[in-house]
Structure 1
Amino acid sequence: MNTDSLLSMTGIDKRFAGIPALAAASFSVGRGEVHALIGQNGAGKSTLIKVLTGYYRRDAGEVIFDGKPFEVTSPQQAQASGISTIYQEINLVPYRSITENICLGREARRYGLLDWKCMHQEAEALLQRFNVRADVRRPLMEFNTATQQMVAIARAIGFSAKLVIMDEPTSSLDEREVSVLFNVIRQLKQEGVSVVFVSHKLDELYEVCDRVTIMRDGRTVRTAAMNEIDRIGLVSSMLGRTIDRAEGHATAFSDRDEKKIGEVLLSAESLAIGQIVRDVSFNVRSGEIAGFAGLLGAGRTETARLVFGIDRPRAGKMTFNGQEFDPHNPSDAIAAGMGFCTEDRKSEGIVPDMSVAENMMLALMPKLSKSGIIDEKAQREIVERFIRQLGIKCSGPDQKVRELSGGNQQKVLLGRWLAMNPRLLILDEPTRGIDVGAKGEIQALIKTLADQGLAVLMISSELEEVIEGADRVFVLREGVSVAQFGRDEATEDAVMSAMAHGSAPAIAEAAT
């Protein structure tokens, strides 16, 4: 590996509406180096890449590329300068042919006309590097996702890039296709092309990368050679935890009474959908808080979506309340007695321009109407009761929900599902984006609900919250459930080891 620097980013700041997304972040890539860029959701990876490629203008800092100060104002300008980016979401033109997608923006011409023969030959030659043989004259939409991903990579290479950025390039590839991709990355490295490899799959990093940069909360927290940092070191750096901490601090979840936990309510066995969820088994008992732990891309939210009927599993089975459970949509799950507070409160949870009352009654509305006429008195009584019980700070039921704090918006969502009198409540990142005081209140509410017999499936990226809050912790790693811990067994050491290595006490009993 040539260690001469191709890219150097130092002191990079970026704010949105005054809130820092990057704070003095740094990142460097050597010539002919494969460099991993990793971190949890919100760590700043995507923002750093978008600053580099001209999608965002940085607020402070310096970028040096190929020995010169680097200033671009668009991704197209960055590409023309030698930086190609391959995004996880394939951004090609599906109705155009493979050749047109690969050569778009740099079409070969002869005597002023498009030289199709030349471009077809180039497209075929680029794809052969990936062992992909396809009719390059056919529309891209006629090919599977893996082939489309290879076309995106071929397009980037076709620009004679000095730096290729790959954002989760293996997310839609099978094992054979991943092996082919890694061979191409090694070819690029031998040719002196640098690669930034963004991935949440730790095994892949060790197989193909030379160095790694870890980001957390908009800052660069560690850069190291891959052979100088183990998996536990990667995980602890991403989470901001030290491995020798066995116990967390007490939270509002503390002092759960295990005697109040009942029989198994939900059981899931070997759930699978594509590469995101491959083999997940777990169960939740009445009055129990079951927690999902795992790194970004582990499949936690995707598993919850399968349970709630948002997506349908391709394999596996579920039972709920002693009956076979196969929801075709969320309505089936709601009718069975489930509620789901989504991770993305703003875009998938609240309706900002509607009132507190309207947001809270969205799920219950059909039950409160007769022949299309809503029982407004019953609605008002329910809303006011949950405003009192949940301690929602608002001027009244008619206040716009967007005017409330994040913590109170989360309480409104809790109220929406509690009004349905569910037996199981799925909470995806229930305390994300809310202040410390509101966080404690939400945690206390969850504990109280579980004490009253409600089964809770809680997903959180905060390791301490899962360990302290859950009666049992299920660890997911790359779409597979790899460990189960009881309250006394769930230490940070044990959970992080399972996240890093995928090895821990067996979970064979998880679905029994």
Structure 2
Amino acid sequence: MTLDRAPEPVVRLEGITVDFPGVRALDDVDFRLFPGEVHAVMGENAAGKSTLVAVITGTLAPEEGTVFVDGEPRRFSGVADSRAAGIATVFQEAQLSPNLSVAENVMLGRERRRLFGIDWRRTRADAGEALAWLGLDDLDPKTPLSMLTPAQKQLVALARAVVDEPRVLVLDEPTSSLDVAEVATLMRVIRGLRQRGVAILFISHFLEQAFAISDRMTVLRGGRRVGEYATRDLERADLISKMLGKDIDSLRALGSERKAHHYASDGEPALLASDVGRRGELERMDVEVQRGEIVGLAGLRGSGRTELASLLSGTVRADSGELWVDGEKVQLKNPSAALRHRIALSAENRGTQGIIGDLTARENIILSLQALRGWTRPLSQAESAGIVETYVEALHLDPADLDRPVGLLSGGTQQKVLLARALAVRPHVLILDEPTRGIDIAAKLDVQRRISQLAGDGVAVIFISSELEEVVRLSDRIIVLKDRDKIGELSNGPGVTVDTVVEMIAAEMSLTSEL
């Protein structure tokens, strides 16, 4: 693709400055977006990405600077103004109505009307045209939204955004809840829009997706623009360095260290599950984790990773099999029983299964330990302070955040608080389900380093991530799952790559299709 084919960007920002109380969110930022390109805006949390989107979409007016559309200065007083200028947005959480049909969601607020109400035939036809414009002709406009997969719902949100055929489309973390196959579908749609000349602003924490889909990248750090780059000219290591403001030798060292680590089983496993399963949710399987070992669970969304974590942590009761912890046969009737046996879980959904948003970060950190001790034996103030101080240092938490409601903190800080809570009970087995999802690069590196250190200290770790690069980088051994069944194991080493895992899944899928 030729990046300079358009003489004038469709959207251009000059000298944009935005202040919030006590912080400058954007500082003299320039930005260009050309027709028929995908432009990724990259940066860690608090880099200014969301603020940049808010300025472009009209939800926030800058203190200084100018927004140009087709070379003309514009001042948006709200989303309606930016929409009228041909700018549409799809957010991370699709703002859809599950009780309505696909057509009703796509056309919400734009229904075709006649004398005595809505003309549903024409409304559905318009919705069908919007879906067809995205290459989604096979999606029936009459289908209830509740029957769709997460990826299909994301595509419905995209159809709603393009129903007016916008010239600019802003995609804010559109793939965060999708698996590999669903991401591929969305990427195909994005490429189709690009071919039609739509200018697409793409924001994602997934670096590989940004490299796969974007033509150019703008890097933000601390509210300032680091630079604008052609994606083909930017190395991944260089991008991460620009986002962090430092090199990534530590990340490379971590990957090399884990790859070179050949774990030798010795003594009783920290956790041994034999023939464990649950009817309708997870096929029977064996799982073994040694002290000091990181076992990664790899598979597509719906493969059974989270279901296995739930069984091994007592969140859900297994209806088959046996479980031993440190050589002792146990029954995990609930998470409290798991905690008593020093099995701690950091759940995938930190919003509903993890943090207590109204409690402070300090209160969240000691929650599991207090539950383990019992509420009749409260931790003393000195004990609580000592525990919290330990993990402030170990996980690089900001002391200023400790007494703030954790629901107000960044995703990366919330994830570190959850990890601190799990570590406070001094687990023998630590189960981490998507511990780095949706957090910035700096927080991700902190969490990955700490996981590696925990294994070095003798903790048995079960690690789940949708990013196979992470699984391969950190794991000593990888259990591969598909369709809620275990299809194989890999001992990690220099010859094991992401492609190794993908090929195993693909080979199993091919074999299944032939049977």
- 1:162 Cα offset (Å): 1.1
What SS class does the counterpart of residue 165 from structure 1 fall into? strand
Tell whether 2:473 aligns with 1:483: yes
Tell whether 2:93 aligns with 1:127: no
- 1:7 Cα offset (Å): 1.1
Give the conservation status (yes or no) of the 8 Å contact 2:67–2:75: yes
Task: Please tell me the root mean square deviation across aligned C-alpha atoms, in Å.
Answer: 5.8
For residue 492 of structure 1, what is the aligned residue in structure 2? none
Are residues 386 and 454 of structure 1, via their aligned partners in 2, closer, same or farther at CA, if it must alter by over 3 Å?
farther
Give the conservation status (yes or no) of the 8 Å contact 1:13–1:22: yes
- 1:41 Cα offset (Å): 3.5
For residue 64 of structure 2, what is the aligned residue in structure 1? 60
Give the conservation status (yes or no) of the 8 Å contact 1:102–1:152: yes
Give the conservation status (yes or no) of the 8 Å contact 2:306–2:348: no
For residue 162 of structure 1, what is the aligned residue in structure 2? 167
Tell whether 2:156 aligns with 1:151: yes
- Which amino acid is the alignment partner of residue 234 of structure 2? I
Measured in 2, the distance between the counterparts of 1:146 and 1:346 equals 20
Instruction: Show CA shifts across 1:303-359 (max 9, x none).
Output: 99767567999xxx9975357999786435323313468999999557766897998
1:235 to 234, 237, 240: 240
Aligned length: 431
Mapping for residues 17-416 of structure 1, pairs under 5 Å:
17-111=21-115, 113-129=117-133, 130-172=135-177, 178-242=183-247, 265=270, 286=291, 320-321=325-326, 330-339=335-344, 349=355, 360=366, 363-365=369-371, 367-368=373-374, 374=376, 378-379=377-378, 383-385=381-383, 387=385, 402=403
Give the conservation status (yes or no) of the 8 Å contact 1:163–1:195: yes
Measured in 1, the distance between the counterparts of 2:121 and 2:405 equals 61
Give the conservation status (yes or no) of the 8 Å contact 2:13–2:31: yes
Measured in 2, the distance between the counterparts of 1:211 and 1:151 equals 26
- With 194-203 and 159-168 compared, the bigger mean Cα shift is at 194-203
- Which amino acid is the alignment partner of residue 379 of structure 1? P
- 1:126 Cα offset (Å): 2.4
Give the conservation status (yes or no) of the 8 Å contact 1:483–1:503: no
- 1:365 Cα offset (Å): 4.6
Measured in 1, the distance between the counterparts of 2:111 and 2:162 equals 15
Measured in 2, the distance between the counterparts of 1:311 and 1:159 equals 46
Measured in 1, the distance between the counterparts of 2:273 and 2:102 equals 41
What SS class does the counterpart of residue 66 from structure 2 fall into? strand
Give the conservation status (yes or no) of the 8 Å contact 1:124–1:133: no
What SS class does the counterpart of residue 239 from structure 2 fall into? helix
For residue 490 of structure 2, what is the aligned residue in structure 1? none
Scaled by the length of structure 2, the TM-score of the pair is 0.62
Measured in 2, the distance between the counterparts of 1:218 and 1:165 equals 19
Give the conservation status (yes or no) of the 8 Å contact 2:455–2:461: no
Identity of aligned residues (%): 31
Structure 1 unaligned spans of 5+: 249-257, 270-281, 393-400, 434-438, 460-473, 487-496
Are residues 181 and 63 of structure 1, via their aligned partners in 2, closer, same or farther at CA, if it must alter by over 3 Å?
same
Measured in 2, the distance between the counterparts of 1:192 and 1:478 equals 33
Give the conservation status (yes or no) of the 8 Å contact 2:237–2:248: yes
What SS class does the counterpart of residue 212 from structure 1 fall into? strand
- 1:84 Cα offset (Å): 0.8
What SS class does the counterpart of residue 331 from structure 1 fall into? helix
- Which amino acid is the alignment partner of residue 364 of structure 1? Q
What SS class does the counterpart of residue 105 from structure 1 fall into? coil
Instruction: Show CA shifts across 1:77-132 (max 9, x none).
Output: 32232111112211112212222221222222345743322222121222234234
Instruction: Show CA shifts across 1:200-220 (max 9, x none).
Output: 444443443221222333332
Measured in 2, the distance between the counterparts of 1:145 and 1:22 equals 33
Structure 2 unaligned spans of 5+: 254-262, 275-286, 391-401, 441-445, 477-493, 505-515
Measured in 2, the distance between the counterparts of 1:72 and 1:224 equals 28
